Amino acid sequence: MRKTDQILMFGFVPLFRGFTRAQVEALLRVAEEAEFPTGATIIEEGTIGEDFHLLLEGQASVSVGGRQVARAKPGDYFGEMALIDGGVRSATVVADTHVGTLRLASKDFLSLVEDDPRIARRLLVELCRRLRVARGSVSD
C-alpha cells in the first residue's frame, strides 16, 4: 500500500483526529506491516494489550466472551486503548481471511508522545471528547 494511502487511513482513526501530516508520518515511521493467515488470532480478549492494528486488507471477526459482535474490514482498527494504557484486551480478533495490518507498538507510540507534547495534547482532547459522548453531554 502506498504511503499516501496509509496516511489517509491513519487520518480516519478517531484517536489520531487532529494530528498534523507530520505527526501521522511519524506514526508511519514506527509502524510496521503485519500479516496473519486465515484463522490466526490477532489479539486475544483478556491478554495484555501492547499494540494497535489498522486493517489494510482482509476481514476478521471480533468476539467478546466467545460471541461474535462485529466483522472488521480494511480501514477498521483495534487496540487503540492499548497504545495508551497497555491494559487488558476487551475482545478477540481472528482473521477470517488472510489479513494485513499496519501495527503500531505501544512503546513506539509512547516514545513519540514524549518527543512531541502536541501529540499528547491532541490525545487528551480526543479522549475528553469521547468521555463527553459517553456521558451524553455531546453527540459524536
109 domain-assigned: yes
Residue 100 inside a domain? The answer is yes
* E strand residue ranges, 37-98: 41-43, 51-57, 60-64, 67-72, 77-78, 92-95
* Domain assignment of residue 122, yes or no: yes
Strand-pair category, 99-105 with 92-95: unpaired
Whether 30 is covered by a domain: the verdict is yes
Using the structure block, give the residue that is written with the C-alpha cell 474490514: 73
Q: Does any domain span residue 20?
A: yes
Under 8 Å between Cβ of 41 and 47: no
**Range of 106's domain?**
3-135
Q: Which of 76, 78, 68 is nearest to 43 (CA)?
A: 78
Looking at the structure of the chain, the number of domains it has is 1
The pTM is what? 0.84
**Predicted local distance difference test score (pLDDT) of residue 91:** 92
Which CATH number covers residue 130? 2.60.120.10
**Which DSSP state fits 14?**
G
In this prediction, residue 137 carries a pLDDT of 66
Does residue 27 belong to any structural domain of this protein? yes
In a domain, 125, yes or no: yes
On whether residue 140 sits in a domain, the answer given is no
Query: pLDDT band at 3, cuts 50/70/90?
Result: low
Q: Is the pLDDT of residue 10 over 80?
A: no
Residue-level pLDDT at 92: 95
Question: How much of the chain, in percent, has pLDDT values that exceed 70?
Answer: 94
